[in-house]
């Protein structure tokens, strides 16, 4: 049963700390997306990778957020330093370049105190 996995599922941290979230896309998928979901803003795209290359990270606050794909099986989203306004659920999704569906992982619920 192919699924996108994300770790950790929950993270509580204090303002100013570094947060790293990890995602394992479905094997064979060549596009990876990072989304953030809040009640106020809904589901927003933060970054988009195609064949491990960053294609669009215009949705990310560049000064504190960074996204990478060290290899085809791992995508990371890092926040440094974290702020209370970063509290949200962060979803990773993967898909095929010419495919229809994006498959979402279970999400990481981040709380920054």
Partner 1 sequence: QKEVEQNSGPLSVPEGAIASLNCTYSDRGSQSFFWYRQYSGKSPELIMFIYSNGDKEDGRFTAQLNKASQYVSLLIRDSQPSDSATYLCAVMGRNAGGTSYGKLTFGQGTILTVHP
Binding site residues, partner 1, CB under 8 A: 31, 33, 42-45, 48, 50, 55-56, 91, 95, 97, 100-102, 104-107
In terms of CB distance, is 59 or 81 closer to partner 1?
Answer: 59
In terms of CB distance, is 64 or 109 closer to partner 1?
Answer: 109
Q: Kind of pairing, strands 42-50 and 108-112? A: unpaired
- Minimum separation from the CB atom of position 71 to partner 1 (A): 20
Cis peptide, bond prior to residue 89, ω within 30 of zero: no
In terms of CB distance, is 27 or 97 closer to partner 1?
Answer: 97
Which class for 88: exposed (0-12), middle (13-18), buried (19 or more C-beta within 10 A)? buried
């Amino acid at each position: 049963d192919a699924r996108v996995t994300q770790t950790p599922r929950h993270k509580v941290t204090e303002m100013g700390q570094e947060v790293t979230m990890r995602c394992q896309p479905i094997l064979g998928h060549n596009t990876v997306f990072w989304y953030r979901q809040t009640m106020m803003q809904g589901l927003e795209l933060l970054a988009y990778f195609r064949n491990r290359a960053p294609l669009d990270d215009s949705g990310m606050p560049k000064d504190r957020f960074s996204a990478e794909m060290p290899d085809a099986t791992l995508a990371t989203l890092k926040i440094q330093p974290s702020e209370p306004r970063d509290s949200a659920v962060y979803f990773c999704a993967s898909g095929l370049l010419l495919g229809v569906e994006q498959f979402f992982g279970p999400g990481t619920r981040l709380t920054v105190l």
